[in-house]
A and B are shown apart, each in its own frame.
Chain A
Amino acid sequence: MSEEFIAASTLAKSLEFAQGNDFHAILTTLRSPAYINEQLLKSELGFLVTKILKLLRSSNDFDLWKGCHTSVVVCAYNPLILSAHGGQLLAAIYSKLEQKTSFYSSVISSSHGKELFNTLVSSMAIIIDLTKNKPTLSREALVPKLKAIIPTLITLSQYEPKLVLPVLQKILKRNNTTFKPFINKFRTVLTNLIISDYASLDSKTQKSVCENFAYLHLLKIQVSNTNDDETQAHHKVYPDANWRTGLLSILSQFKPIIQLCEEILDFEQDNELQKLIAALPVNAESHNETEFLPRMKLDFNAPLSLWEIPQRLSLLVDMLVAFISLPTPFPIRVPLGGINSLCEVLLGVSNKYLPLKKELRRDNELNGVINNILPQIQFQGIKLWEIIVSKYGKCGLSLFEGILSSIELFIPLKKKSNNEIDFNVVGSLKSEFFAVFRLINMIMSHLGHQLSTVSVISQLIDVALFLSRDKTLIDSLFKNRKSNTKQQGKTKQSKKTKNNEGAFSDIYTHPELFVFKNSMSWFNEINEFLITALNNWILPSTPHIQILKYSITQSLRLKEKFGYIPETFVDLLRCEVLHPGNERVSILPIAISLLKGSNDDMFELLCHPKVPVGMVYQLHKPLDSGEEEEERGSTSESETITNGSYPHASTDLKTFRALENLENVSIPGPERAVPKLDDETAVFKKRTVEEITGKESGSVNKKVKVMEETIVEGAKESTTEVIVTQTETEARSIEDSEDEEDDEFEIPAIELSDEEGGDEKEE
């Protein structure tokens, strides 16, 4: 063993004082497989671990930080250390974490407090991840410690939900029996988070709060089983009983909120909707635990309080989503139909077809708020559907048509007009429409051209194209300005306005800088939608032309910006070329000049169409062996004829023969024979057309094809005549070589036919 590595003990010593780059170097060295050596374990590695433990136990925060990272690296890359000392290291980190958690406020107030917690939690999570699933290790090192770790983490999760919740979620999913004693504590923490701080969390944390809440329902199964078993043994107990009660309790909370909307909109106009609402699932036995959410306080006199409706719905949807989308160790029963009808109801809450309640119509402020919250309520339904379709895919195939027709309700229309889209409202609902397009794309990939309702699609295309334009913020400003100046006329306000103009000068001189631009992810989604639309339907010319224009201008713009055209735009251009719709000309030339640099196979093929090479040979494939014999005769004859035609060729005879030999090699026997006739006669004809001016010779040649073998001689003569005429017409001095040519042309005629006869016999 040539061991040229630094001894672990040396590294361990330098670890204590290492900083910056040195520390990096040590960590990289420690990853070396040379240290996975049992002989080293007791002496060197033991020393290393004691050093790390010393770092972990030190009161210096930087040392602690170093210790955490070193232990993670060592455990991850060295299975020996992991199995021998993993538990020890974990315990050391945990005890530090516990200690720091108890002094949370003082630790967090220091400049690096947050980073320290981050390091401690993440390195602990990594070591836990490394130890679990390894039976002995997890039984001896992990599980006993979890009982101590979990309460600490739960305490910490109140302060640092973003950091801790993912770790807890993992533990909860895997070791739910160990978790059982702490369920109630964790539940109170989570409900606290949901009730008070939910809106102030970022969306990722919100998601993990909901997911943790859902995972709480993994646990109680056995408890309920033991209770029920004695009295109701005959009932089949599903493994997801507890999960389902959790899910249903969330689902049942929607109905009362929707019934609240009845105070805003006149539901009595729509019987179908009323039926749907009545059929929404309700929880008959109201558990205490389900009603942890506080009651809403709505007041028509304080219109802003109405915003609580969509907020609450959004929270419920988030929780429902967690229940129906999380992976569980057992199969779960999801009430798809109920959720679907819930979504339908949510989308039905719209003032598109339903009038407002009469008594509300006068209050402008209130109406403004209502107009704003209704799309948000509808959007909750879309959010839910998006998850269902993405998670359950084709299981919801029967729902898709209904979803599409409900989406139509989401598109805002101008009041008192026939189906004109209100683009002002559309502009303010951009992120919501982003979700709509994601949903539509998922649905359309399943449905395709089977879809009969194209009206939604054309409306959505309008919306998509409108939203894909850059949105200027100052249009309305100019409108207002003009009307203002008209009204003011020549009043004294000139001085004041001057001051304003100074501040506004940028708006007037560079209006193009005050725009919202679209993100690439938006373009990708829209392009996918447009591609499916173009693929499946022939659109009327107005949207079609608009799509063409959009794709061309945007791809040109993006090409200038990035130097290349993004992939989805290339796909869209392809699709437009392949589906020209009602256009008289496809935009092929434009697309190609846009994609000049890139080697696009499809456009290459469209520009240089080729017939597949093998096609010609398979055309006249002989069917029976009996026919084959006949054809052999004819082929040998035809080949002599074609050989006879060689002298017509201005190309060198030898090279031609060589070429033919090549062909012979590459083409299988029976297939070769017949097509050759085709091929060669074609050559024959071509030559005659090119070089022989007299019509007679052409007719003679035509005869040759039909003639029997005995006449071949005559045919040869005729061809020699032709040669003579040719030599006469051409200025070249072929006279000298005429004799040679004659010689040459006879010899190959015999040779080739002989050869080929031989070949065929062999085959």
Chain B
Amino acid sequence: MTKSRKQKQKKKDFLRKKLKVGKPKEKASNATDTSFVSKTISIRNQHLDQDPHDLTKRLTLLKHHNINVRKETLIKFQKSIPSIINSRLMTPLLTQSIPLICDESQQVRQGLIDLIDEIGSRDAEILKLHCNIFVLYINMAMTHIVTQIQADSTKFLSHLLKFCSDEVVRKSWVKLLNGVYGVLGWGQVGKNESASVVQTKKRNAKYVSIHLSALYTLVEYGCQDESARGDNDAAQSLEHTSELRNPYLIPEYPQPFEHLKLFTRELKVKDAAANGANAALLSLATQDIDTRRAAFSEQFLPIVRKQIEIIIKEGGECGKSANNLKKLLAKVFD
């Protein structure tokens, strides 16, 4: 008897329930009841426009397809720089805005220059911190296919040099010189003859003079120590020298050991012979003036001397700045 009851129960378990139309499906025996009832729903501060002053939301607008939006955003940021200069917004802002060096619109580029100036005049250390990205994009601009962007690249360079000259020349001396030479059409890397021909044909006196002045500042900061550079900022230079004499104090600039490249994985130069002397130069650490000077006089000086003479003969605005450069070179290297 007991047996048959058990058997029945077992059978019952395996019976298949028939589903019927119009009736809901029976729930499983182990289903959890998730239904709940509430009388009120409270929603805390529903702000669709959460914070009109939250600038992080605007960062993406820097990549907006509309030129005006990008420009406006840059201006907006420029205006709010004083309030955010010490916030942590600066790094994303710079990493997002620096690529605009290669922006196709002239206005946007101008806006970026203004922004950089604003930041630099407030706190140059922030620019120093992002020096590497700057140099990367300036280099990109210098080799850009659009001539206007290429032409504007040196503007960025000279504005950058204004605020963090020391960092720039220490980190990427040879790279930038190569770039400036390319822009001027004296190119060495890759022997980009056709590009330089285009350049010389379209040579716009205004741009050439800007290029030359950028080269001037680059050489000035790179190959001259503070004492020789001039008296326009004597007090500052004094500060610098005292800094130099105290290598044991806590440095006043960001990333003091970056150039040691302790944590970067260096690419192996596969065939050093293929790239020739330039590869050796690019791997050179140009932390001290002597090395920079040697590198310049070895690789760049003969060309610049030759080209300058041509430009001086042509005269005009370019001739003037070329003459300045010539004087500087004479002062530094003779």
Residue of B243, B248, B286 touching A588 (CB-CB under 8 A): B248
CB pair A606 B248 closer than 8 Å? yes
Which A residues from 219 to 263 make CB contacts under 8 A with B?
none
CB distance from A728 to the nearest CB of B (A): 40
Contacts of A552 in B (CB 8 A): 260, 262
CB distance from A422 to the nearest CB of B (A): 11
Q: Is B291's CB within 8 Å of the partner chain A?
A: yes
30 pairs, CB–CB < 8 Å, chain A vs chain B: A420-B280, A540-B288, A540-B294, A541-B285, A541-B286, A541-B287, A541-B288, A541-B291, A542-B283, A542-B285, A544-B287, A545-B260, A549-B262, A552-B262, A553-B262, A580-B247, A582-B290, A583-B247, A583-B287, A584-B243, A584-B244, A584-B247, A584-B287, A585-B251, A585-B256, A586-B248, A587-B260, A588-B248, A590-B257, A606-B248
Residue of B244, B261, B280, B286 touching A549 (CB-CB under 8 A): B261
CB pair B262 A582 closer than 8 Å? no
| 0/1 string, A519-553, CB within 8 A of B gives 1 | 00000000000000000000011101110110011
CB pair B247 A585 closer than 8 Å? yes
Contacts of A587 in B (CB 8 A): 257, 260
In the complex, what distance in Å separates the CA atom of A479 from the CA atom of B272?
13
User: Given known contacts A479-B270, A541-B285, A586-B247, what 12 new A-B pairs fall within 8 Å (CB)?
Assistant: A541-B286, A541-B288, A545-B259, A545-B260, A548-B260, A549-B262, A581-B288, A582-B287, A582-B288, A584-B256, A585-B251, A585-B256
Q: Is B81's CB within 8 Å of the partner chain A?
A: no
In the complex, what distance in Å separates the CA atom of A588 from the CA atom of B249?
9
Contacts of A548 in B (CB 8 A): 260
In the complex, what distance in Å separates the CA atom of A584 from the CA atom of B171?
13
In the complex, what distance in Å separates the CA atom of A544 from the CA atom of B287?
10
Contacts of B251 in A (CB 8 A): 584-585
In the complex, what distance in Å separates the CA atom of A586 from the CA atom of B246?
9
Which A residues from 415 to 461 make CB contacts under 8 A with B?
420
Most buried by B among A542, A548, A552, A580: A542
| 0/1 string, A650-662, CB within 8 A of B gives 1 | 0000000000000
Contacts of A581 in B (CB 8 A): 288
Which A residues from 564 to 589 make CB contacts under 8 A with B?
580-588
Contacts of A541 in B (CB 8 A): 285-288, 291
Contacts of A479 in B (CB 8 A): 270
Q: Is B67's CB within 8 Å of the partner chain A?
A: no
Q: Is B284's CB within 8 Å of the partner chain A?
A: yes
Q: From A552, which residue of chain B is reached at the shortest CB distance?
A: B262
Q: From B261, which residue of chain A is reached at the shortest CB distance?
A: A549
Interface residues of B (CB under 8 A from A): 243-244, 247-248, 251, 256-257, 259-262, 270, 280, 283-288, 290-291, 294
Contacts of A549 in B (CB 8 A): 260-262
CB distance from A105 to the nearest CB of B (A): 58
CB distance from B266 to the nearest CB of A (A): 10
Most buried by A among B256, B284, B288: B288
Contacts of B247 in A (CB 8 A): 580, 583-586
In the complex, what distance in Å separates the CA atom of A509 from the CA atom of B291?
41
CB pair B291 A542 closer than 8 Å? yes
In the complex, what distance in Å separates the CA atom of A588 from the CA atom of B256?
12
Contacts of B288 in A (CB 8 A): 540-541, 581-582
CB distance from A583 to the nearest CB of B (A): 6
Interface residues of A (CB under 8 A from B): 420, 479, 540-542, 544-546, 548-549, 552-553, 580-588, 590, 606
Interface of A is mostly: helix
Q: From A541, which residue of chain B is reached at the shortest CB distance?
A: B287
CB distance from B25 to the nearest CB of A (A): 55
Residue of A420, A545, A553, A606 touching B287 (CB-CB under 8 A): A545
Q: Which 9 A-B pairs have the closest CB atoms?
A: A541-B287, A582-B288, A586-B247, A580-B247, A585-B256, A542-B285, A541-B288, A545-B285, A541-B285
Q: Tally A-B pairs: CB < 8 A.
A: 54
Contacts of B262 in A (CB 8 A): 549, 552-553
Q: From A590, which residue of chain B is reached at the shortest CB distance?
A: B257
In the complex, what distance in Å separates the CA atom of A497 from the CA atom of B244?
60
In the complex, what distance in Å separates the CA atom of A542 from the CA atom of B285?
5
CB distance from A540 to the nearest CB of B (A): 5
Most buried by A among B247, B251, B280: B247
CB distance from B29 to the nearest CB of A (A): 54
Q: From B243, which residue of chain A is reached at the shortest CB distance?
A: A584
CB distance from A725 to the nearest CB of B (A): 39
Contacts of B286 in A (CB 8 A): 541
Contacts of A542 in B (CB 8 A): 283-285, 291
Q: From A546, which residue of chain B is reached at the shortest CB distance?
A: B285
In the complex, what distance in Å separates the CA atom of A585 from the CA atom of B255?
10
Contacts of B290 in A (CB 8 A): 540, 582
Contacts of A582 in B (CB 8 A): 287-288, 290
In the complex, what distance in Å separates the CA atom of A112 from the CA atom of B248?
66
Q: From A588, which residue of chain B is reached at the shortest CB distance?
A: B248
Contacts of B285 in A (CB 8 A): 541-542, 544-546
CB distance from A329 to the nearest CB of B (A): 56
Contacts of B294 in A (CB 8 A): 540
CB distance from A469 to the nearest CB of B (A): 12
In the complex, what distance in Å separates the CA atom of A544 from the CA atom of B284?
11
Most buried by B among A540, A544, A580: A540
In the complex, what distance in Å separates the CA atom of A160 from the CA atom of B189?
68
Contacts of B256 in A (CB 8 A): 584-585
Most buried by A among B244, B257, B284, B294: B257
Q: From B240, which residue of chain A is reached at the shortest CB distance?
A: A584
In the complex, what distance in Å separates the CA atom of A481 from the CA atom of B256?
42
CB distance from A421 to the nearest CB of B (A): 11
Contacts of B280 in A (CB 8 A): 420
Residue of B257, B261, B270, B284 touching A585 (CB-CB under 8 A): B257
Contacts of B244 in A (CB 8 A): 584
In the complex, what distance in Å separates the CA atom of A587 from the CA atom of B260?
10
Q: From A423, which residue of chain B is reached at the shortest CB distance?
A: B272
Most buried by A among B244, B285, B286: B285
Contacts of B248 in A (CB 8 A): 586, 588, 606
In the complex, what distance in Å separates the CA atom of A585 from the CA atom of B283?
21
Contacts of A420 in B (CB 8 A): 280
CB distance from B3 to the nearest CB of A (A): 65
In the complex, what distance in Å separates the CA atom of A552 from the CA atom of B257?
12
CB distance from A65 to the nearest CB of B (A): 59
Most buried by A among B248, B261, B262, B284: B248
Q: From B288, which residue of chain A is reached at the shortest CB distance?
A: A582
CB distance from A589 to the nearest CB of B (A): 8
Contacts of A585 in B (CB 8 A): 247, 251, 256-257
Contacts of B287 in A (CB 8 A): 541, 544-545, 582-584
In the complex, what distance in Å separates the CA atom of A549 from the CA atom of B261?
8
In the complex, what distance in Å separates the CA atom of A540 from the CA atom of B248?
20
Q: From A580, which residue of chain B is reached at the shortest CB distance?
A: B247
CB distance from B276 to the nearest CB of A (A): 9
In the complex, what distance in Å separates the CA atom of A548 from the CA atom of B285?
12
CB distance from A675 to the nearest CB of B (A): 29
CB distance from B107 to the nearest CB of A (A): 38
In the complex, what distance in Å separates the CA atom of A541 from the CA atom of B283?
12
CB distance from B247 to the nearest CB of A (A): 4
CB distance from A161 to the nearest CB of B (A): 49
Contacts of A590 in B (CB 8 A): 257
Contacts of B270 in A (CB 8 A): 479
Q: From A579, which residue of chain B is reached at the shortest CB distance?
A: B247
Contacts of B260 in A (CB 8 A): 545, 548-549, 552, 587
CB distance from B11 to the nearest CB of A (A): 60
In the complex, what distance in Å separates the CA atom of A552 from the CA atom of B291?
23
In the complex, what distance in Å separates the CA atom of A586 from the CA atom of B245?
11
Contacts of A583 in B (CB 8 A): 247, 287
CB distance from A472 to the nearest CB of B (A): 10
Contacts of A540 in B (CB 8 A): 288, 290-291, 294
CB distance from A546 to the nearest CB of B (A): 8
Contacts of B257 in A (CB 8 A): 585, 587, 590
In the complex, what distance in Å separates the CA atom of A703 from the CA atom of B248?
40
